[in-house]
Structure 1
């Protein structure tokens, strides 16, 4: 890894949070929902606002949202498709949900729409699940939630019971189900998968490369794992990747992000002994080898954060907690950590160098207006990113 950038924002700053949703569209990072700790209370953040961070200029804006606004919640599963952000599941003041909402990120209106499915059956309520996007469909896996006892089939072991509520005939637990939502037809379906499915789990990480969906680790009953499984999204066949040593420690609440056509970046999480992690690993899915990498944020552990692929194979990590989240004074974060995963193109290198040094370099400052128009515009936008930061209150 060549370098990384960190921003502590000066004027408008997104609130600290964990368990939120974030996606990147057109070099803008959109952040919604989640929760933080105030005194001894866990407080959901407002669901009628969305925070937008310009990854070129380093500037935050907050926008009011309208429409069929979802309840404030954490642990929802968010993804981006055709300029829309979709959220499914999550936990609100009434527990886990199984509703799906979407919002257009490109029209500047930020109007929520609750989707009522026309065909199929929605999955049972759940949170801390994951999603793959493939061929215009949203494919959900796993999570923690509840089912009626009558809906649990002990034969296929797709649901492991954690906590029963005998009065209501309800059981809580982990699942390894695969559900497909087709936005074009507002329909739910459940494919017949083949091969050996991963154990039921939640708080795992997932990523998509081509027609393959990958999951890594998560909480499986009372343990946390680092196993890797792959689902072929064309044939619906599961396979497990048995990597060569060394391998990351088992964990949950981490992230997995595609950074090339054959590699995935794992960052952070919580270990079996509840230790927040700051290590970064690259998995080559072809050679099945993990490689631990050095990075500038090894003193910044994160769990229940988000990680989004950005421009030039950057990975943008936002928010999360630097402490075990069940502590009373959980250290929620609001900084963005930008990991450079590949060498930058020459244009990007020039843009960054000039923008970073033009204020302190007289020759650059005097020659700025002689740059080609396209580069000048890019540099002027980028200069805002490197402006001197004021100390946050």
Structure 2
């Protein structure tokens, strides 16, 4: 029984992009939307393409989508609840959106069909992009973002950036909170019962630990932030800006924050206040209220406006984004997948990886393994064959790769 790696022509990869949506459900990473730059023009990627990355095998596939397709957009907010990918907001050629769509990722027939949610109750947020979302108790809870409002919609939760007086349309940053209950199909704006909310902002990042929704950084006017806040998602009380003792990350926007343990958050990348793309990684412990910088990360792979998803064994998967300052140079969109191991793998996973890495030496013995685990072994053989193939291709133009890049 042959167990060698598949031929190289099978190793496709999702297209480069920034400002996209990505979620993990089961053993797959799903990627939708975003944009690229072609000859100094921003081009939104096809709205009918869903890219799937199988975590065990390391292989990408693309599936065409059907149904009530969202427009091609960037800056939308994607989140997954019970196997459904929800996409809200974003920016397209016609402006900002406040539409909400979902697609069932656990389809049995292999058909991915978008559904626009129109029979909802309540009032959705005003149109915006670059917002964030917490998932808690089957609710999508949105915070902030950049967008537009009419004169009669202005409030304390909106910092005006620019205005078009003829139509009395105002652009700016939000710090309001809106929730959508996926069970009752209802929008509502929770009453904040205490605390001091963060300043209005966009291009920030969020994460949930327990019943707390954390917010870090983001942009307001020409200022980028490095403040940390949380909202209690049961009592709707803001923490105010959390005082941190010791070292902490610098100001940034377009970064990611990923929960990696019951009390830890992983921060990666972004764009600094002096417009430098960042490649640093930090761990925040909510127990000790301290940041710790990771010193072993390579400096050659900065990312901003990327996505970060937690894998099945605690690995953080960074996909896409840009390595350039998008305000001045918008050509460095990425298509590689950076995998950060944040905790020890299980013994079974380590054994699978060992076999996969040494498949050429063990090819005559692999067929002897128990049939129950053989499919997983073969997927790991494929994973490492794909990883080695892509790193060899990158090494031809970039030199020796410094970390696992898929």
TM-score (norm 2): 0.91
Aligned to 1:4: none
Aligned to 1:75: 75
> Which deviates the most, 340-349 or 291-300?
291-300
Structure 1 10/331 Cα, relative in aligned 2: closer, same or farther at 3 Å? farther
**Runs of 4+ off more than 6 Å:** none
Aligned to 1:246: 247
Deviation track 1:131-177 (CA, whole Å, cap 9, x = no partner) reads: 00111110000000011111113xxx211000111111011100100
Instruction: Indicate the SS of the match to 2:103.
Output: strand
Q: How large is the RMSD of aligned CA atoms in angstroms?
A: 1.6
Contact persistence 2:302–2:323 (CA under 8 A): yes
TM-score (norm 1): 0.94
Aligned residues: 380
Q: CA deviation at 1:95?
A: 1.0
Contact persistence 1:39–1:328 (CA under 8 A): no
Q: Distance in 1 between matches of 2:378 and 2:11?
A: 19
Aligned to 1:55: 55
Aligned to 2:224: 224
Instruction: Indicate the SS of the match to 1:213.
Output: strand
For structure 2, the 5+ residue unaligned runs are 1-7, 398-406
After TM superposition, the structure 1 = structure 2 runs for residues 199-348 of structure 1, keeping only pairs within 5 Å, are: 199-239=199-239, 240-348=241-349
Q: Distance in 1 between matches of 2:9 and 2:222?
A: 38
Structure 1 249/95 Cα, relative in aligned 2: closer, same or farther at 3 Å? same
Q: Distance in 1 between matches of 2:355 and 2:144?
A: 46
Contact persistence 2:281–2:297 (CA under 8 A): no
Q: CA deviation at 1:209?
A: 1.1
Is 1:38 aligned with 2:20? no
Q: CA deviation at 1:120?
A: 1.0
Aligned to 2:11: 11
Q: Distance in 1 between matches of 2:359 and 2:329?
A: 45
Structure 1 164/31 Cα, relative in aligned 2: closer, same or farther at 3 Å? same
Q: Distance in 2 between matches of 1:272 and 1:117?
A: 42
Q: CA deviation at 1:304?
A: 0.1
Is 1:374 aligned with 2:360? no
Q: CA deviation at 1:296?
A: 4.2
For structure 1, the 5+ residue unaligned runs are 1-7
